[in-house]
């Protein structure tokens, strides 16, 4: 195990992002103070106690509403938003000022600078001067993260926005200065204090990217993409030590990882990775331990743990002008004087030698110190009597046991009172749930993550449309977590048509459940989730997630769709439709679309791309008019079905409302589905039949398999990959392709006016035969005639 | 805790679980492992650099199913290697390269182990087979014989010489514990047991196919965890860590604390990924350098051997310090929880009176367990959980869990989805017929005048051992077969036993008088009848008669009764099972027939192959002299003969299969019949029965089992 230290310093109720702020006083020697707010509306002011090396609570305030965001500039100007209010506190927790912004939405970011107050919600950035609203910027998509800072013009405050439509925007007041399009959804932004204009962003896919804005142009410096299995990034913090020229950046991941990077020569290097088993909500640098010169990491989790993480570190003065600083993973020799740096620029070989020499020297020095310290520790350890420790441990265990009994008794007592009194006024206060349901385009599924602040006992699911739920399994990240057991019942009967239910029993003390949900395109509905935690009294909460009809599409930009001209299947609608109605309808059909729309320009366009096959949907609309176009007639037909159902219930009529199919596009689509199915069946066959035989053969030949066919060798090489894909192929992909082919068939016939094609059963039979894996090769010549 | 010393790559595929370590020259430790295809290799770290460091020992030319080694011969101070293949058991002297004995086993060998059993002077070789464990000494003489419920999957013997416990896991998901040749405990598990590992005295670690790892101490489970990955190996490296070392299929190595299952070590790097992806084939552990420095050796499936040593800086002191630190934290957490709970209950109890009154609810639903017939004709039935919600409660979810009674531990019903109407009838399907506890969890919505509240309602329900027996008033006819025995116990104890371990809803179901009790039952799984009759006899003993045609049921009741009541004096008066006896006689005569058939078929195949050679020579000779017609004839005949041989062979295999099945049946009957005895008598009967089978005396066997 790595030799970094981790310590729980405080515990509050469940927290959310941006609700923790560290106030560092000017001047290095002072310790930081922490302000943190939770979902029950309590704000805690914490400060380290130098005497006994702990964190103490200065005071706490209750504002009865969940804390939105906290911003602080120095220890006496702490701004806290709750709902539409901004309140100012001093470091002792005294309320100085309260200000109502009159925005309907919750504030997610604030900035206060002299008379200017900026408040940002999901769609609006609002600027106030002397408490009077001056300007507003309205975004046409959800703003995931907003932060404020300086650019080239240090006098002005710029607003940096991470937007759901895969872009980062830089605003000055309400005018858009610059917009950069990136290739995944940004979730967090963080500004460098070393180089003005340098910024970092973290995406929902776990990428960390550094950008540099200069002269109206943005350049990418570096990017870290290896964290794609760690889930979305939820929090980032930047630290720069000017004297040491030390740049650190800490990243908090949704999955519970905290990673610290050191930016060395402009490139990041991972120096610490810690797994906290719960969703991280905030990470920050702080100075809590008086004996440490470099900052420590503070992380807060959803359940309300506040954790301090640090590594062993040393600062050694070698002589008056040179000193050595080291944290495990980083080593830096820095000069106090400036003469050395000048030489550096010349890249003088002699000097580099000298540097290396001095580095080695310093390393030795450090090693000696570390050695001496460990020796000391060892000596101390040997002095401590082993039996004493054992005794102490046993006493503790006894204490715990008696306490556990007491707690159990108290629980029992509480339970015996509660059924009579039904005193359950605020059951939602008993525990908090955070759920995340997001498209994972690489796994071709949705990730469902449920976080609670009280250990989950079990989770029950039910829905009445076909999906597949699986336990999440990252193949290469080992989190040493125990896993719960998942049991799925699928039943279909005539009354209910289809019912899918699952039970997930969580391992003890888990605050988090992660599952993968594989939908099938065109099958949609609500999944009801009953979460049962270990509360007293026992209770549960019902939450739900919505699987949208075209759930396997992701939103893209125009240039990401190559064959836009091929979208000749059309579905135009004209009629009495308002913009918000259309927007709502589209957001009900596709994922990653905002529910509301603010701007009022003449025409809007959305592009969507399927994550299973190479097809897409383009959707253009203006008031009273929508036009969907696609190369996949099935997708359009799904929209058609839903819209006709909807209009029926709303009693609306349209001037045009018809599906126009381009017959030319059926064959390429079918070919794609066919190839997908063939590929999936191949993988299953290779896994089930070929690989065991090949393995045996290779064994008999003592591993000498060079006589194999190139194809076979290829299969042997890809063995691991096939193994990884096997489960998914067998359970899900085949189902998706077969469903795709049958619905394509039905739609094609429908467009030609045949509503109940007689050969449908034959087609299903044929496909079933392909699926049975009894060696029947899937045959294009058998399949195609159905569509001719 | 562990640090890697070095890695050696042999570039052969090592088979999972087939490795052992022994002093084959009497001084130095060597590792023996098996590659796919049955080649056995020896790796001796002490011979580093020399030619003999890594050598191939023997090629068994068939799949090796298990290997073990031990110092079997007290006269030679070195370890001997035991190799079990599909149907052969071989004792092999590695140093002299000689076979010491060779035993053909008719059943498949599934596990091999060695150690002291039943205070023997030398260690035995124990061989797990279909439903039985056989023990041999180093001469190859059979010295030990016990039966188990199914195909044996693992055998583990404790290392100590005095009264070691033998643990045997079998494919019916049971771990059975034997002392000498008496079974002392049966532990049911929820899945196929893949590995067992002896820890201390009376303590054993296990792993299941579904990824569960746990530890039993004194036959009680002390912890279990479920991991995501497949477990390939378990070992207890005592001198390295006080923990269970687990090797996974994805290359992960973990050490978990024996006492609480807490993770002590895992070989993940800074980015929390495994350092290698090679599936672990097995671990060995020992003092390879002969200087008291123990090391743990990991063998991976693709032929890498990695040596780990205990990290120098690591010591138990810091371990304890960490433990103390964690305990202090836990104590603080508990104190906090206690405080909040106390506060809560105070606020509530002060408000309780004001709030409740018209909202008082005793409970939201009634829960009952009932036995009902599914098939009234054959009297086959099932156990049903009957849940009746009260008016103001809507049941959203019903979830039933149990540690061992259900497959996958749990099942869930959504009454609304399945459009059930109250009262809800939920059939319970138990996988093991044992007593236990189920936990019923109801997710209810309680509707009151003001609001709806969500509540979870928990109820623990005891499932008695003999739940599948439904008590009935009277039976149509009294069975012929019965087991009659007397015990010196109190009548009230017998009555208590029946009432506790059978599901008796109504006292009328039992016929009770001051000196007798009678219960009539129907076994819901097959509809057979069973009745228990206990009468107080003159000499204040109680005479009990169990009437049933089913030998197994009689045995189960008998064993359970004496294990619960523990009477000091038991004497079995009568074991009368004519139908079982008849069945046994039939099976035994069948076996004889199969044996005769086997001989006949073997000779037939032999004669066929003789002919084959003849025709082959004919054909080849004709080819030499260019006699095409005879060549054709010859090969035609060979073709025909070939298909004949195929046919004969398939006959032989089916015959063999039947033979094996019959043998299994016999073993089962012996196992069941032994259950009609107790204590010493029980183990003697098994030994005697074994002797009778060996001597092929049917009459003695049947006479022995049923008097």
Give residue-wise pLDDT tens across range A690-709: 787 777 777 666 667 777 77
Distance CA A41, CA B143 (A): 75
User: Under an 8 A CB cutoff, do A503 and B399 touch?
Assistant: yes
Please report the pLDDT score of residue A418 as a whole number. Answer: 57
Domain housing A766 = 665-787
A685 within domain boundaries: yes
Instruction: Give A336's pLDDT tier (boundaries 50, 70, 90).
Output: very low
β-strand partners of A107: none
* A181 plus A51 within the same structural domain: yes
Contact residues on chain A for B397, CB-CB shorter than 8 A:
460, 530
| End position of a domain, from candidates A337, A371, A390 | A337
Cβ contact B453–A491 (<8 Å):
no
Interface of B with A in 573-602 (CB under 8 A): none
Looking at CA atoms only, how far is residue B639 from chain A in angstroms? 27
* Any domain includes A374: no
Cβ distance of A400 and B327 shorter than 8 Å: yes
B445 vs chain A: nearest CA distance in angstroms?
Answer: 10
User: Which residue, A412, A426, A627, A641, is CA-closest to A522?
Assistant: A641
Q: Does residue A356 lie within any of the structural domains?
A: no
Q: Which residues in A lie closer than 8 A to residue B356 (C-beta atoms)? A: 420-423
Residue A736 lies in a domain: yes
Does residue A371 belong to any structural domain of this protein?
no
| Residues in B touching A485 (Cβ below 8 Å) | 210, 226, 408-410
Q: Are strands B482-487 and B542-548 parallel, antiparallel or unpaired?
A: antiparallel
Is a pLDDT exceeding 60 seen at residue B360?
A: no
pLDDT of residue A772: 67
Tens digit of each residue's pLDDT (9 = 90 or more) over A121-174: 888 888 888 878 888 888 888 888 999 888 877 778 889 999 988 889 988 888
Task: Tell whether A560 and A459 lie within a shared domain.
Answer: no
Count of C-beta atoms within a 10 Å radius of residue B682: 17
> How many domains, chain A?
4
pLDDT of residue A266: 79
- Chain B residues touching residue A374 (CB < 8 angstroms): 313
CB atoms B315 and A381 under 8 Å: yes
- In this structure, the strands spanning A42-49 and B212-217 are unpaired
If asked whether residues A252 and A143 sit together in one domain, one would say yes
Q: Is the pLDDT of residue B531 over 50?
A: yes
pLDDT > 70 fraction of chain A, expressed in percent and rounded: 81
Q: Where are the beta strands (DSSP E) in B11-123?
A: 14-22, 30-35, 39-43, 54-59, 64-70, 80-85, 88-93, 98-104, 111-115
Q: Cβ separation of A417 and B352 shorter than 8 Å?
A: yes
What does the pLDDT read at residue A282?
92
Q: Are residues A543 and A557 in the same domain?
A: no
Q: What is the pLDDT of residue B361?
A: 44
Confidence of residue B107 (pLDDT cuts 50, 70, 90): confident
Q: To probe the interface with A, which of B272, B327, B403 has the most A CB atoms within 10 Å?
A: B272
Please, which pLDDT band fits residue A364 given cuts at 50, 70 and 90?
A: low
CATH number of the domain at A431, please.
2.60.40
Using the beta-carbon criterion (under 8 Å), do B410 and A475 form an inter-chain contact?
no
Residue A407 belongs to a domain: no
Closest chain A residue to the Cα of B330, Cα to Cα? A400
- CB within 8 Å of chain A, chain B residues 396-455: 396-397, 399, 401, 408-412, 414, 417-419, 441, 443, 446, 448, 453-455
Average pLDDT over residues B206-213: 88
Task: Say whether pLDDT at A314 is over 70.
Answer: no
Average pLDDT over residues A605-610: 88
Facing residue for A396 by CB, picked from B331, B361, B458: B331
Mean pLDDT to the nearest integer, A423-435: 64
| pLDDT at A345 > cutoff 60 | no
In a domain, residue A86? The reply is: yes
Candidate ranges A121-135, A557-571, B306-320, B686-700; pick with highest mean pLDDT = A121-135
Of B578, B567, B477, B495, nearest in space to B535 by CA: B495
Q: Are residues A695 and A630 in the same domain?
A: no
The average pLDDT across B108-121 equals: 83
Contact B417 A413 (CB under 8 A): no
Residue contact A478–B263, C-beta within 8 A = no
A49-58, A170-179, A675-684: least confident range: A49-58
CA A501/CA B48 separation, integer angstroms: 59
Q: Show residues of chain B in contact with A390, CB under 8 Å.
A: 320
Pick the more confident residue, B170 or B391: B170
A3-12 per-position pLDDT tens digit: 457 777 787 8
Is pLDDT of A743 > 80?
Answer: yes
Domain identity same for A28 and A118: yes
The pLDDT of residue B357 is: 35
Q: Is B328 exposed, middle or buried (0-12, 13-18, 19+ CB in 10 A)?
A: middle
**Residue where one domain finishes, among candidates A547, A566, A600:** A547
pLDDT band at A576 (very low <50, low <70, confident <90, very high): confident
Angle between helices B316-355 and A386-421 (to 10 degrees): 20
Query: What Cα–Cα distance (Å) separates residue B16 from each residue in A476, A500, A695, B170, B302?
Result: 21, 38, 15, 18, 10
Same domain, A569 and A707: no
> A354 vs A314, A350, A663, B559, CA distance in Å?
22, 6, 75, 85
If one counts every other C-beta atom within 10 angstroms of the C-beta of residue A54, the result is 12
Distance from CA of B29 to the nearest CA of A (A): 28
What is the Cα–Cα distance from B272 to B252, expressed in whole angstroms? 11
- Indicate if the pLDDT at residue B693 is higher than 80: no
CATH class of B366-463: mainly beta
Task: Give the best residue of B3, B41, B348 to mutate against chain A (max A CB count within 10 A).
Answer: B348
Q: Averaged over B368-388, what is the pLDDT?
A: 82
User: How far apart (Å, rounded) are the C-alpha atoms in residues B465 and B404?
Assistant: 13
The domain segmentation of chain B, as residue ranges, is 315-346, 366-463, 469-576, 579-705
DSSP state for residue A733 in the 8-state scheme: I
**Interchain CB distance below 8 Å, A424 and B359:** no
So what's the pLDDT on residue A378?
55
Quote the minimal CA–CA distance from B512 to chain A in Å.
38
Report whether pLDDT(B306) > 60.
yes
Phi then psi for residue A741, to 5 deg, are -65, -45
Higher pLDDT, B700 or B676: B676
Peptide bond into A480 cis (omega under 30): no
Q: Residues B366-394: what's their mean pLDDT?
A: 81
Q: pLDDT tens across A251-306, in order?
A: 998 888 888 888 877 788 888 788 877 888 999 988 887 777 778 889 998 888 88
pLDDT of residue B424: 84
Q: Average pLDDT of A751-770?
A: 78
More confident residue, B468 or B268: B468
Tokens (6 digits) for B290: 């002969």
**Spatial CA neighbour of A165 closest among A672, A605, A710, A725:** A605
- Considering only CB atoms, A418 lies closest to which of B37, B228, B348, namely B348
Residues contacting B365, CB < 8 A, separation 6+: B387, B388, B389, B390, B393, B395, B442, B444, B457
Name the token pair of A708. 């194999």
d(CA B672, CA B653): 28
β-pairing, A54-62 with A42-49? antiparallel
Nearest chain A CA: its distance from B342 CA (Å):
7
- CA A191 to CA A157: how far, in whole Å? 13
A631 and A671, same domain (yes or no): no
Q: Is B268 on the interface with A (CB under 8 A)?
A: yes
Q: Mean per-residue pLDDT for A765-786?
A: 73
> 3-state class of A450 per DSSP?
strand
CB contact under 8 A, A496 and B419: yes
Is the separation of the CB atoms in A297 and A308 below 8 Å?
yes
Domain assignment of residue A35, yes or no: yes
The reported pLDDT for the residue numbered B356 is 39
Indicate yes or no: CB of B455 within 8 angstroms of CB of A397: no
pLDDT at position B205: 92
Percentage of chain A modeled with pLDDT above 90: 4
Q: Which residue has the higher pLDDT, B304 or A485?
A: B304
pLDDT at A335 over 70: no
| Same domain assignment for residues A783 and A762 | yes
For B469-576, CATH number out of 3.30.310, 3.90.550, 3.40.50, 1.20.120 equals 3.30.310
pLDDT tens digits for range A73-86: 776 788 888 888 88
One domain for residues A610 and A489: no
| Cβ pair B541, B555 in contact under 8 A | no
Segment A530-574, tens digit of pLDDT: 998 887 677 888 888 989 888 888 888 888 777 777 788 888 888
From chain B, pick out residues whose CB is under 8 angstroms from the CB of A692: none
Q: Is the pLDDT of residue B526 over 70?
A: yes
The answer to whether A684 and A726 are in contact (CB under 8 A) is yes
Same domain, A142 and A16: yes
Looking at the fold, whether A637 and A714 belong to one and the same domain comes out as: no
State which of A523, A547, A571 marks the end of a domain: A547
Residue A415's pLDDT is 66
- Percent of chain B, pLDDT > 90? 3
- pLDDT value for A90: 83
Q: Give the mean pLDDT of chain A.
A: 78
pLDDT of residue A342: 36
Instruction: Tell whether B219 is within 8 A of chain A (Cβ).
Output: no
State the ipTM, two decimals. Answer: 0.72
Structure tokens at A568: 């000749």
Tokens 């900026």 map to which residue?
A118
Give CA–CA dist A282/A300, Å, rounded: 5
Query: pLDDT-derived band of residue B206, with 50, 70 and 90 as boundaries?
Result: very high
Using CB atoms within 10 A of its CB, is residue B271 exposed (0-12), middle (13-18) or buried (19+)? middle
């Amino acid at each position: 195990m790595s030799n970094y230290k981790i310590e729980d310093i405080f515990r509050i109720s469940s927290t959310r992002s941006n609700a923790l702020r560290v106030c560092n006083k000017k001047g290095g020697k002072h310790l930081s103070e922490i302000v943190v707010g939770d979902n029950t509306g309590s704000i805690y002011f914490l400060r380290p106690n130098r005497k006994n090396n702990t964190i103490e609570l200065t005071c706490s305030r209750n504002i009865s509403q969940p804390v939105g965001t906290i911003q602080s500039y120095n220890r006496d100007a702490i701004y806290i938003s709750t709902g539409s209010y901004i309140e100012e506190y001093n470091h002792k927790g005294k309320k100085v000022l309260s200000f109502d912004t009159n925005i309907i939405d919750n504030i997610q970011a604030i900035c206060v600078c002299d008379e200017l107050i900026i408040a940002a919600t999901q769609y609006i950035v609002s600027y106030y001067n002397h408490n009077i609203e001056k300007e507003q910027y309205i975004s046409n998509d959800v703003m995931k993260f907003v932060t404020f800072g300086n650019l080239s013009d240090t006098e002005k405050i710029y607003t940096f926005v991470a937007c759901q439509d895969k872009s980062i925007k830089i605003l000055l007041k309400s005018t858009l200065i610059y917009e950069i399009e990136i290739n995944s959804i940004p979730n967090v932004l963080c500004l460098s204090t070393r180089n003005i204009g340098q910024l970092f962003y973290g995406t929902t896919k776990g990428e960390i990217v550094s950008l540099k804005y200069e002269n109206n142009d943005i350049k990418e410096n570096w990017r870290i993409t290896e964290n794609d299995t760690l889930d979305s990034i939820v929090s980032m913090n930047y630290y720069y030590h000017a004297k040491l020229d030390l740049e650190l950046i800490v990243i908090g991941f949704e999955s519970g990882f905290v990673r610290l990077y050191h930016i060395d020569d402009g490139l990041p290097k991972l120096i610490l990775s810690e797994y906290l088993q719960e969703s991280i909500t905030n990470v920050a640098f702080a100075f809590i331990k008086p004996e440490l010169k470099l900052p420590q990491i503070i992380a807060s989790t959803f359940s309300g743990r506040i954790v301090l993480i640090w590594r062993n570190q040393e600062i050694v003065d070698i002589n008056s002008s040179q000193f050595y600083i080291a944290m495990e993973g980083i080593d830096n020799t820095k000069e106090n004087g400036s003469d050395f740096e000048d030489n550096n620029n010349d890249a003088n070989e002699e000097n580099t030698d000298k540097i290396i020499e001095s580095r080695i020297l310093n390393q030795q020095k450090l090693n000696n110190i570390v050695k001496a310290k460990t020796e000391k520790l060892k000596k101390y350890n040997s002095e401590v009597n082993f039996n004493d420790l054992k005794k102490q441990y046993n006493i503790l265990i006894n204490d715990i046991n008696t306490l556990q009994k007491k707690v159990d008794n108290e629980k029992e007592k509480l339970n015996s009172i509660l059924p009579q009194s039904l005193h359950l006024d605020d059951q939602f206060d008993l525990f908090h749930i955070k759920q995340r349901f997001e498209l994972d385009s690489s796994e071709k599924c949705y990730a469902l993550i449920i976080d609670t602040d009280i250990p989950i006992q079990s989770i029950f699911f039910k829905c009445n449309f076909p999906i597949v739920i699986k336990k999440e399994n990252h193949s290469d990240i080992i989190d040493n977590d125990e896993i719960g057991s998942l049991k799925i019942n699928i039943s279909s009967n005539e009354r209910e048509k289809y019912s899918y239910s699952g039970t997930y029993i969580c391992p003890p003390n888990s605050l988090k459940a992660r599952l993968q949900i594989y939908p099938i395109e065109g099958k949609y509905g609500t999944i009801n989730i009953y979460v049962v935690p270990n509360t007293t009294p026992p209770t549960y909460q019902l939450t739900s997630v919505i699987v949208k009809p075209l759930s396997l599409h992701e939103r893209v930009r125009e240039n990401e769709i190559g064959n836009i001209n091929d979208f000749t299947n059309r579905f135009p609608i004209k009629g009495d439709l308002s913009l918000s109605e259309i927007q709502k309808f589209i957001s009900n059909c596709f994922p990653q679309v905002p529910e509301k729309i603010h701007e009022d320009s003449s025409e809007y366009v959305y592009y969507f791309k399927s994550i299973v096959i190479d097809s897409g949907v383009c959707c253009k609309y203006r008031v009273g008019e929508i036009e969907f176009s696609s190369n996949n007639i099935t997708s359009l037909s799904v929209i058609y079905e839903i819209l006709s159902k909807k209009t029926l219930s709303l009693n609306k009529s349209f001037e045009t409302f018809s599906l126009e199919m381009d017959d030319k596009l059926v064959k390429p689509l079918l070919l794609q589905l066919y190839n997908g199915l063939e590929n999936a069946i191949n993988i299953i066959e290779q896994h089930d039949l070929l690989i065991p035989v090949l393995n045996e053969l290779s064994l008999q030949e003592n591993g000498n398999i060079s006589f194999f066919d190139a194809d076979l060798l290829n299969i042997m090489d890809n063995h691991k990959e096939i193994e990884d894909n096997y489960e998914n192929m067998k359970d899900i992909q085949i189902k998706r392709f077969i469903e795709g082919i049958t619905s394509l068939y039905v739609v094609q016939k429908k467009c030609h006016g045949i509503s109940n094609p007689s050969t449908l059963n034959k087609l299903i039979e044929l496909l079933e035969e392909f699926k049975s894996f009894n060696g029947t090769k899937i045959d294009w010549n058998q399949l195609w005639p159905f569509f001719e | 805790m562990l640090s890697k010393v070095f890695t050696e790559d042999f570039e052969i595929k090592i088979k999972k679980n087939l490795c052992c370590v022994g002093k084959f020259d009497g001084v130095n430790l060597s590792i023996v492992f098996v590659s796919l295809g049955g080649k056995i290799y020896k790796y001796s770290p002490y011979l580093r650099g020399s030619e003999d460091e890594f050598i191939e020992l023997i090629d068994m030319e068939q799949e090796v199913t298990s290997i073990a080694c031990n110092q079997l011969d007290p006269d030679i101070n070195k370890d001997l290697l035991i190799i079990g293949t599909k149907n052969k058991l071989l004792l092999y002297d590695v140093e002299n390269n000689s076979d010491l004995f060779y035993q053909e086993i008719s059943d498949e060998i599934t596990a091999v182990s060695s150690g002291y059993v039943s205070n023997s002077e030398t260690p035995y070789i124990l061989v797990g087979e279909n439903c039985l464990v056989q023990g041999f000494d180093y001469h190859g003489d059979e010295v030990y014989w016990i039966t188990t419920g199914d195909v044996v999957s693992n055998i583990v013997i404790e290392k100590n010489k005095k009264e070691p416990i033998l643990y045997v896991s079998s494919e019916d998901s049971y771990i059975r514990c034997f002392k000498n040749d008496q079974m002392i405990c049966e532990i049911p598990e929820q899945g196929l047991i893949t590995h067992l590992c002896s820890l201390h005295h009376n303590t054993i670690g296990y792993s299941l196919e579904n990824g569960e790892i746990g530890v039993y101490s004194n036959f009680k489970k002390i912890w279990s965890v479920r991991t995501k990955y497949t477990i390939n190996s378990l070992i207890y490296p005592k001198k390295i860590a006080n923990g269970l070392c687990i090797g996974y299929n994805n290359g992960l190595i973990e050490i978990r604390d024996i006492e609480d299952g807490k993770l002590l070590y895992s070989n993940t790097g800074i980015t929390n990924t495994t350092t290698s992806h090679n599936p672990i084939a097995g671990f060995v552990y020992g003092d390879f350098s002969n200087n008291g420095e123990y090391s743990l050796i990991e063998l991976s499936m693709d032929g890498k051997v990695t040596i780990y040593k205990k990290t120098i800086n690591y010591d138990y002191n810091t371990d304890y310090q960490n433990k103390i630190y964690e305990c202090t934290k836990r104590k603080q957490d508990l104190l906090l929880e206690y405080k909040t709970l106390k506060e809560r209950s105070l606020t509530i109890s002060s408000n309780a009176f004001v709030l409740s009154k018209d909202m008082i609810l005793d409970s939201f639903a009634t829960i009952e367990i009932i036995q009902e017939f599914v098939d009234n004709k054959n009297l086959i039935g099932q156990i049903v959980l009957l849940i009746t919600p009260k008016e103001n409660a809507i049941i959203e979810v019903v979830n039933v869990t149990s540690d061992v009674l259900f497959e996958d531990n749990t099942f869930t019903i959504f009454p609304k989805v399945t459009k059930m109407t109250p009262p809800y009838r939920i059939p319970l399907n138990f996988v093991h017929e044992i007593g236990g506890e189920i936990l019923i969890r109801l997710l209810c919505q309680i509707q009151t005048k003001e609001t709806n509240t969500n509540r979870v309602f928990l109820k623990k329900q005891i499932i008695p051992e003999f739940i599948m027996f439904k008590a009935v008033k009277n039976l149509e006819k009294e069975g012929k077969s019965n087991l009659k025995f007397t015990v010196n116990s109190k009548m009230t104890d017998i009555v208590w036993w029946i009432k506790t371990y059978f599901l008796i809803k109504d006292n009328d179901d039992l016929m009770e008088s001051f000196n007798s009790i009678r219960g009539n039952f129907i076994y819901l799984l097959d509809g057979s009848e069973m009745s228990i009759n206990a009468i107080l006899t003159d000499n204040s003993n109680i005479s009990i008669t169990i009437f049933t045609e089913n030998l197994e049921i009689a045995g189960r009741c008998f064993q359970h009764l004496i294990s619960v009541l523990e009477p000091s004096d038991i004497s079995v008066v009568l074991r009368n099972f004519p139908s079982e006896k008849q069945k046994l006689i039939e099976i035994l005569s069948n076996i004889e027939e199969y044996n005769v058939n086997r001989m006949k078929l073997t000779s037939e195949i032999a004669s066929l192959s003789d002919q084959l050679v003849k025709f082959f020579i004919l054909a080849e000779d004709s080819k030499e002299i260019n006699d095409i017609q005879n060549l054709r004839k010859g090969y035609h005949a060979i073709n025909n003969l070939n298909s004949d041989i195929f046919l004969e062979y398939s006959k032989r295999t089916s015959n063999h299969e039947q033979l094996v099945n019959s043998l299994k049946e016999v073993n089962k009957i012996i196992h069941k019949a032994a259950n009609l005895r107790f204590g010493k008598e029980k183990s003697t009967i098994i030994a005697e029965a074994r002797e009778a089978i060996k001597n092929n005396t049917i009459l003695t066997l049947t006479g022995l089992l049923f008097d």
